[in-house]
Structure 1
Amino acid sequence: MSRKFQGRTLYIRYSNTRLWKTSALYLAAFLIILYGAIFLWPVVPAKPNIPESSSFKVKINPKSGLSAIAVQLSEQGLTTNALSLHIAARVLFVGSKLKPGTYLLPYRASLGNILLQIARGDRVRESLAIIPGMTIWQLRSLIDNHPALIHQTKGMGPKDLLQALGLSYPGDEGLFYPDTYIFDPDDSDISIYRRASQAMQKQLTAVWEQKEATSPLKTPYDLLILASIVEKETGRSSDRSLVAAVFVNRLKINMPLQTDPTVIYGIGPKFDGNLRKADLRRDSPYNTYMRKGLPPTPISMPSKESLHAVMHPANSEAIYFVARGDGSSHFSKTLKEHENAVDQFQRKRNVSTKLTSQ
């Protein structure tokens, strides 16, 4: 090879190497600038007198594409646009991973951090707990006063609520499954009722399928009613199946259930905490001292455990029980044994109360 040709070849190689180095430098510079634009430049405008610990709330609507998300963010105060959002989302490979919801962002958050947070679904969630034994009045008040819900059912009567949920029952009591429900801010209250009622229907159906031939209950609604009574009468979970057995045994021999919680429920929200003899003598559909069989509706929201206890009561012949005063109950087969137990535990309780008050 001639020196001239060899020199020319070396020059071409040198030029290519130099070109690659130059391109690499430009690419590195571009990536640094892009990184800075995505992760260092804040897209939430700073405002005067705002502490650094403050946060900024934005909401992404369901089924929103990148362009729609860009508009939503811009309308809520973020200084961004569709082009920068598209570029950043593609660079970070999160374009198809952005999740709807309400997000709490650091006040001077970068576009990159915002997109990664939305892609993780790290959003604000709210919760509402339906407690076993809660009545419909308590539940309606709880939901009506929850600040994170949109209140579509406030002031709605029981029939209208049932119609909105597609349910056909004598009332709305007992139909909502006790659980903690997680939801996004600004969700509608009807969605909580719907989820809770569907959960209760699922539990009720599953438990009713286990019904034994000897059970005196005729419908799943009967199961719901009796379970709601067991829920209110159980002071200790270990007694639940025994309490259920007492009421099942009474139904089998057509004996009145004679349970205070049904009478209290019949009095309604105005009950002052003091059940009087006059209340027990006042006839109502919920007075199980004066009327045999089940009351017309449940009296609370029963737990899964109470549903199971009613469907699988303890193997017991007891038809009476009395509270011992420590959360548990004493169960009796005969009236004489029951009267002795009442005398024993009520006397002990009265003496203890008198000594405490002295």
Structure 2
Amino acid sequence: MNRSGANLGRVSWRPLLLVLMLAVAATAVWLWRDFNHFGTTPLHVSANGESIDIGRGTSFKDIVHQLRAQGLSTSSPLYWRMLAERMRVAGRLHAGEYAIVPGITPEQLLTNMAQGKVLQRDVTIVDGWTFRDVLQALAKADKLTHDTVGLDDATIMKKIGAPDEKPEGQFLPETYAYVKGDSDLDVLRRAHDAMSKTLTALWAQRDPDLPLGKPYDALILASIIEKETGRADERARVAGVFTRRLQKNMLLQTDPTVIYGMGSSYAGTIHKSDLTTDTPYNTYTRLGLPPTPIAMPGKPAIEAALHPAPGDALYFVARGDGTHIFAATLEEQNKNVACYQLKHCQ
């Protein structure tokens, strides 16, 4: 009787043990599915996107803590560790700033960190900008180290490896990518190299018999063309006018050079007295090209300077609608000025 009771007592634990084992198995399956779901579920990111900045020497634990502190993830640190181990990236995450864009998953973020795909930002040098404009744009660039602050032009050019060069016109208008930690000097160095390579390549393909002695002359002329017109269909024609005037030893008589020579005294309007006030950049008082470029010319303007359109035009004047009218004689030019500038059309 006692033996049978003992046996019954032992048997009664088996269903409980089975239930417990099933519960453990079900929990394990659920956790495994939840873990797999975690790896492919987008992080909590605002519509505008965010970023995470990982310093050198930051541990994996601290990276996960930072993700959680920024509200990007509420998942268990254990899940992050398991995912990194499964992906074999736990010890291969690179320092840097990483973009957290809407829709990015933990797997994608860890892949980016393992491959060092750090967040890139852009800064654009615009055709026709002056060097002052370029420096102002770099000063406003987010997460860019500003090493040019307090430096004069000569020092800046020396630091980027171009000593004794004047900065105006020497940086190719283009969009340049940079990452956190890059310096404005790095961007300037790349833009200077880009202009140097572009000018060298285009100079080698120039038209024969141009009144330009060296590539720098082409850069100066291109900067004038850049400031005179932004129309693709007019650049070569404007270049043709200036080329013929140089060949005929005529004054270039272009207002943008006068304005550049006025510096900070230019207040938005050019007067007749300004045209007669001599400066190194006044092409109404001095023959030939000015001593330096007056802006950053884009590649199309350089191409126009080296491949001017043929013709007999020696003058042009703005119509007031963004286009210009060209003339071969001074008499014709005076009529155009009276019509389009003074509104006395006959």
Q: Tell me the TM-score range normalised by the shorter chain.
A: 0.7 to 0.9
* Per-residue deviation, residues 31-69 of structure 1 (Å, max 9, x unmatched): 9549629937x9x9x9xxxx98797632246xx7xx766
Structure 1 counterpart of 2:60, from 70, 86, 104: 70
Match of 1:58 in 2: 52
Match of 1:187 in 2: 182
Match of 1:218 in 2: 213
Measure how far apart 1:195 and its partner are: 1.6
Measure how far apart 1:89 and its partner are: 3.1
Q: Percent identity?
A: 38
* Per-residue deviation, residues 1-48 of structure 1 (Å, max 9, x unmatched): xxxxxxxxxxxxxxxxxxxxx9xx98x9489549629937x9x9x9xx
Change (3 A) 1:151 1:339: same
1:162 partner amino acid: M
Deviates further, 176-185 or 253-262: 176-185
Measure how far apart 1:190 and its partner are: 1.2
Match of 1:323 in 2: 318
Structure 1 counterpart of 2:139, from 136, 141, 144: 144
Match of 1:209 in 2: 204
Quick check: 1:264–1:275 contact (8 Å CA) kept in 2? yes
Separation in structure 2 between the aligned mates of residue 324 and residue 277 of structure 1, nearest angstrom: 19
Match of 2:5 in 1: none
Secondary structure class of the residue paired with 1:340: helix
Measure how far apart 1:187 and its partner are: 2.6
Gaps of 5+ in 1: 1-21, 352-358
2:334 partner amino acid: E
Match of 1:14 in 2: none
Quick check: 1:60–1:69 contact (8 Å CA) kept in 2? no
How many residue pairs match? The answer is 316
Quick check: 1:263–1:288 contact (8 Å CA) kept in 2? yes
1:36 partner amino acid: F
Separation in structure 1 between the aligned mates of residue 198 and residue 251 of structure 2, nearest angstrom: 27
Separation in structure 1 between the aligned mates of residue 66 and residue 334 of structure 2, nearest angstrom: 70
* Per-residue deviation, residues 136-177 of structure 1 (Å, max 9, x unmatched): 111111112223311111221110110011114541111111
Quick check: 2:161–2:189 contact (8 Å CA) kept in 1? no
Secondary structure class of the residue paired with 1:268: helix
Measure how far apart 1:74 and its partner are: 6.3
Quick check: 2:242–2:252 contact (8 Å CA) kept in 1? yes
Structure 1 counterpart of 2:229, from 234, 246, 270: 234
Deviates further, 97-106 or 220-229: 97-106
Separation in structure 2 between the aligned mates of residue 223 and residue 296 of structure 1, nearest angstrom: 12
Separation in structure 2 between the aligned mates of residue 346 and residue 55 of structure 1, nearest angstrom: 51
Match of 2:300 in 1: 305
Gaps of 5+ in 2: 1-20, 70-74
Separation in structure 1 between the aligned mates of residue 49 and residue 208 of structure 2, nearest angstrom: 60
1:133 is aligned to 2:133: no
Secondary structure class of the residue paired with 1:181: strand
Match of 1:9 in 2: none
Match of 2:271 in 1: 276
Change (3 A) 1:85 1:324: same
Measure how far apart 1:98 and its partner are: 5.5
Measure how far apart 1:114 and its partner are: 3.4
Separation in structure 1 between the aligned mates of residue 95 and residue 212 of structure 2, nearest angstrom: 46
1:209 partner amino acid: A
Quick check: 2:60–2:90 contact (8 Å CA) kept in 1? no
Match of 1:153 in 2: 148
Measure how far apart 1:261 and its partner are: 0.2
Quick check: 2:64–2:80 contact (8 Å CA) kept in 1? no
2:113 partner amino acid: I
1:36 is aligned to 2:35: yes
Match of 1:17 in 2: none
TM-score by length of 2: 0.77
Change (3 A) 1:34 1:120: farther
Change (3 A) 1:34 1:185: farther
1:292 partner amino acid: L
Measure how far apart 1:71 and its partner are: 7.2
Change (3 A) 1:233 1:99: farther
Quick check: 1:245–1:316 contact (8 Å CA) kept in 2? yes
Change (3 A) 1:136 1:293: same
1:344 is aligned to 2:329: no
Deviates further, 167-176 or 319-328: 167-176
Quick check: 1:39–1:113 contact (8 Å CA) kept in 2? no
Change (3 A) 1:281 1:105: same
Deviates further, 31-40 or 322-331: 31-40
1:313 partner amino acid: P
Quick check: 2:225–2:238 contact (8 Å CA) kept in 1? yes
TM-score by length of 1: 0.75
2:186 partner amino acid: S
